[in-house]
């Protein structure tokens, strides 16, 4: 299983020696600020991890898989993530073992 918000709260609690409720607030504030910045279209750079950006995907043609009809998909926004060199190197080393 992966790392969850609850796991992060536990790590912050242990590392900072604060109560679980305080750790929950700290993690919540950090994640909320990251999400708000991405939603505003700002770049969020976490050194050693990577960069999040909000991108606009243009309107395009798609297909309804049930009916096989072509349909027009509206313009939308998505989040892209570019992995940092440091994390990429760590992943390639971990993949060899």
Residue 94 confidence (pLDDT) = 73
Mean pLDDT for 18-41 is: 97
pTM metric for this prediction: 0.76
pLDDT tens digits, one per residue of 62-73:
999 999 999 999
Q: What is the DSSP string of the chain?
A: ----HHHHHHHHHHHHT--HHHHHHHHHHHHHHHHHHHHTT--EEETTTEEEEEEEEPPEEEE-TTT--EEEEPPEEEEEEEE-HHHHHHHHHHHH-
């Amino acid at each position: 299983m992966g790392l969850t918000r609850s796991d992060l709260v536990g790590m912050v609690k242990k590392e900072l020696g604060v109560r679980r409720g305080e750790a929950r607030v700290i993690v919540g504030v950090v994640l909320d600020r990251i999400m708000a910045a991405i939603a505003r279209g700002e770049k969020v750079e976490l050194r050693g991890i990577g960069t999040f950006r909000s991108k606009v995907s243009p309107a395009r043609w798609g297909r309804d898989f049930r009916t096989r009809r072509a349909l027009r998909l509206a313009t939308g926004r998505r989040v892209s993530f570019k992995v940092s060199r440091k994390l990429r190197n760590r992943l390639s080393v971990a993949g060899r073992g």
